[in-house]
Amino acid sequence: MESMNISLPEPLKHFVDGQISTGRYSSASEYIRELIRADERRKAEEELEAKLLEGLSGAESGLTRADWSAIRKEALAKVEARKKSR
């Protein structure tokens, strides 16, 4: 694992220390990693929402029976893969 040093103003350091003292996080590193993961999820959700809005504003196109069959097959394969990975 790579190491990174950050500098925080005193009020932010006290806030981080307070988060650790609640027992939810074992270290400042763990707290920062969780913040970064949450930011990654937020950005992914924003990207998905933008793509959905783009799709909604685009021209409509119908799905054929073959399209639905392919979608179903792919979904079932993903479900099976998840079951096997557990």
Tens digit of each residue's pLDDT (9 = 90 or more) over 22-67: 999 999 999 999 999 999 999 999 999 999 999 889 888 889 999 9
Amino acid 62: pLDDT: 86
Amino acid 58: pLDDT: 86
Domain that holds residue 34: 10-85
Phi, psi of 6 (to 5 degrees): -130, 155
In a domain, 48, yes or no: yes
In a domain, 45, yes or no: yes
Whether residue 86 is predicted with pLDDT greater than 80 in this model: the reply is no
In a domain, 5, yes or no: no
Amino acid 11: pLDDT: 98
**Any idea which residue has 């190491």 for tokens?**
3
CB 46 within 8 Å of CB 38: no
- CA angle at 41 for the pair 19 and 5, rounded to the nearest 5°: 50
In a domain, 3, yes or no: no
Burial of 59 from C-beta contacts in 10 A (0-12 / 13-18 / 19+): exposed
Instruction: Quote the number of domains for the chain.
Output: 1
